[in-house]
Structure 1
Amino acid sequence: MKVEDIFDKPLTKRQRQDLADLKTRPERKIDYSDIPPLSGKQLASAFRPIDKHFLLVRLDRDVMQWLNKSGESYSAHINRTLRSEMRAGVSTESRRG
């Protein structure tokens, strides 16, 4: 199953009704008693993720094969490679100007 299959799957009538009910429920009516408190270690490791942008990119087959050889997800590999180039470009541009 692909991620698109999950996002494109329509909600059932029951799911739509549950969401509508939750949207109107006041926060004071939500029961949090079954949620364990976070530990200090969990709180210390909390972070706000970098805002990601969904993008469809067409790549040549050999480029995809190379990306997949790294062992990490190809999108993470692309992002890391582009970020490295971006930073290198910034330092190159600052030396030019």
Structure 2
Amino acid sequence: MKKLFISQPMRGKSDEDILAERKKAIELAQEMIGEPVEVIDSFFQEAPADAKPLWFPGKSLELLSGADVAYFAQGWEDARGCVIEHDSALAYGIKSIVA
């Protein structure tokens, strides 16, 4: 079973929208990979109240380091954190799926 990291723009989206997009990403990734995946939870619903913007990509990169596959949801190229995650996945040889 492959470990899946999902990178998606979240700014301005409701939790429901984010979770729905994640569900779709999981289904598409499993279809493309051809086997079930273990999802790395990178949706920080309980981030520290005083977290500075750089806290989020820092934590995401830590989680990305354990992934076999990274899925980049539509619009990733317009979100700073997603671009950092994408560049890191490429630099470190993590297989990527781009929606």
Shared fold, TM over 0.5: no
Could you say which structure has the larger radius of gyration? Answer: 1
Q: TM-score, normalised by structure 1?
A: 0.23
TM-score by length of 2: 0.22
